[in-house]
Amino acid sequence: MLSLCAVMLNACALFPGHEGIDEAIASIERGEYTEAVGILERAEEAGENPRQLHRARGIALMGLAKYEDAAEEFLLTLSENNGYVRKLDVDTSYYLAVSQYRSGDVSGAKDTYTAIIGMYPEESDAFLLRGKTELKLGERDNAIADFNQAVRLKKNDPDLYIQIYESLNQNGLEEDGEVYLKDAMELNTRLTNLQKGKLYYCMQDYDRAKDALEAARSEGAGESITLYLGRTYEALGDTNYAASLYRAYLTENPSDVEICNQLGLCCLDMQDYRSALEAFQQGLSIPDNEFEQTLKYNEIVAYEYLSDFSRAETLMKEYLDKYPDDEAAIRENKFLQTR
């Protein structure tokens, strides 16, 4: 939903006289979240800055996927602002909204984005993210209005149009999303090859997408190219090459859960069910995992393809205990009962 506000701690600074908080921040940056929580307990006993302490603890708890506890810490941070709204409050509010969303409090996340917009009505990201929460709540018209406002505030950003399209497409509103793709292609600003490739992919013009993305790769485009390039080759029927792209990428970036999931899906398509299972389980081994539900479901599917119905049934029971409203899983569970 939000890459933990771009870079995990880009708004955190090192504060003189706050050695414990600084040490905890360094631990968080290394992914050592449990250690960071322990350090912050000692920092609290030493009387270090409460606002910075609660904020850092909230981020560490997010890393441990304890989103409800994290939200409480962010609320404490915001409650101690002495009546003055600072940039720290806006950054903390973004963290709070992500924690609320991931803990299932989607309405709360929407309210938090609304509060951000109240403080900074020129925040395009807040309109984009509020629109995404509104889609989750089934509020299509409100989401479209917010997406349009996000575009008005950042109309020359092709990636924004792509994000909006993907959100609408994922919620069964592909026709609404196509409007944004067309607008993006008509931008006066020069599109990069990577942006062109993403747009062509979304428009299902896979040959042009491949050409643009390969050109972007030769230019040294960033990491985001792998997912789109791989999916493009999958759409063109070259799943073997797509899988090789994902595997090469994961060798250098083993914690990319989205690529783990995509590799698993690719392997399922190739009927390499054991490799698919391994890819899904690699993704599930990564903490703070926003793809956890998808990966858990796909893991069950992989066990079914491997004819391990007993294991699949056990995992399905655990899955439905945690996600009881997943209709696809309910239907799949009925099938498992017949095996």
Domain boundaries, the chain: 255-339
CA pair distance 44, 122, nearest whole angstrom: 36
Tokens of 104: 């299932």
* pLDDT given at position 83: 56
Tokens of 130: 């509020």
Q: Residue 189's pLDDT band (boundaries 50, 70, 90)?
A: low
Segment 37-48 mean pLDDT: 92
CA pair distance 99, 97, nearest whole angstrom: 5
CA pair distance 71, 152, nearest whole angstrom: 31
Given CA atoms 128, 131, 133, 135 in this order, what sign does their dihedral have?
Answer: negative
**Cα maximum dimension of the chain:** 64
pLDDT in tens, 123-140: 999 999 999 999 999 999
The alpha helices in the chain, defined as continuous H runs, are 19-29, 33-45, 50-63, 67-79, 87-102, 106-119, 124-136, 140-153, 158-170, 174-185, 193-202, 206-218, 225-235, 239-252, 257-269, 273-284, 292-305, 309-322, 327-337
Q: Residue 17's pLDDT band (boundaries 50, 70, 90)?
A: low
CATH no. for 255-339: 1.25.40.10
What integer best gives the mean pLDDT of the chain? Answer: 88
Q: Residue 288's pLDDT band (boundaries 50, 70, 90)?
A: low
CA pair distance 334, 327, nearest whole angstrom: 11
Q: Residue 191's pLDDT band (boundaries 50, 70, 90)?
A: confident
pTM (2 d.p.): 0.77
Are residues 232 and 266 in contact, defined by beta-carbon separation less than 8 angstroms?
no
Tokens of 30: 């290394």
- Which DSSP category does 253 fall into? -
